[in-house]
Chains A and B, each alone.
Chain A
């Protein structure tokens, strides 16, 4: 069993829809990261959080430490949100352990 599980693996939505991507992990962590990988391959850090909720524009990330679960929400989705979203957890060091990613396609 992977330490970090993401669901769904693939997600197709219509423009404007509310999107949720889930991440569950099995180990104790000091922080959880959400990353976005563009179709061209570049990777961008979206959020780093260790508790509660963070919001940036139309993106919201939440984490429940007790349940070892995090969600990434996208409100009013747009085709430019199409990308692979990757969850990664960080334990007692700088080392990141990654989920396999969720491929999101938003159709106009």
Chain B
């Protein structure tokens, strides 16, 4: 398996522009997570889906952020409009949730976002 795939790997944009990050989870996994990592705050969960349904979006910073999972093999994280403080590395991860049993999460390589 190719693992979790994220694109783009690097994104540089100007303040005010729309940014879309993409993620393809490992085939067969039913949970998908979006994380953000900054020097100041470390790793933080933004949102996670189970069976394509958003379960917890309490980490989404504000209305400028939105995430979708239209099918089991694709998810997007959109920032509109982007701001310099959104600069961070965004990770996508996936796992397989069995009934009453948690499993390890597999992380993608991350997207390094720079907003000028």
User: Residues on A close to B: CB < 8 A?
Assistant: 30-31, 33, 35, 41-45, 48, 86, 88, 90, 93-101
User: Residues on B close to A: CB < 8 A?
Assistant: 31, 33, 42-45, 48, 50, 55-56, 89, 91, 93, 95, 97, 102-107, 109-110, 112
B105: contacting residue among A30, A42, A96, A99, CB under 8 A: A96
What are 24 sample pairs from A and B whose C-beta atoms fall under 8 A apart? A30-B102, A35-B107, A41-B109, A41-B110, A41-B112, A42-B107, A42-B110, A43-B91, A43-B93, A43-B110, A45-B104, A45-B107, A48-B102, A86-B42, A93-B56, A94-B33, A94-B50, A94-B55, A94-B95, A94-B97, A95-B48, A97-B45, A98-B42, A98-B43
Contact yes or no, B104 A93, CB < 8 A: no
CA distance A99 to B6 in the complex (A): 24
B107: contacting residue among A31, A43, A90, A94, CB under 8 A: A43
Give the interface SS of chain A, mostly helix, strand, loop or mixed.
Answer: strand
Nearest Cβ distance between residue A51 and chain B, in whole angstroms? 14
Contact yes or no, A31 B102, CB < 8 A: yes
A96: contacting residue among B45, B89, B97, CB under 8 A: B45
CA distance A95 to B93 in the complex (A): 12
Nearest Cβ distance between residue B2 and chain A, in whole angstroms? 14
Known A-B contacts A41-B110, A48-B103; A93 and B55 likewise in contact (beta carbons under 8 Å): yes
Instruction: Find chain A residues with CB under 8 A from B110 CB.
Output: 41-43
Instruction: Find chain A residues with CB under 8 A from B106 CB.
Output: 45
CA distance A43 to B104 in the complex (A): 12
Nearest Cβ distance between residue B33 and chain A, in whole angstroms? 8
Among B44, B48, B89, B105, the most chain A Cβ lie within 10 Å of the Cβ of B105
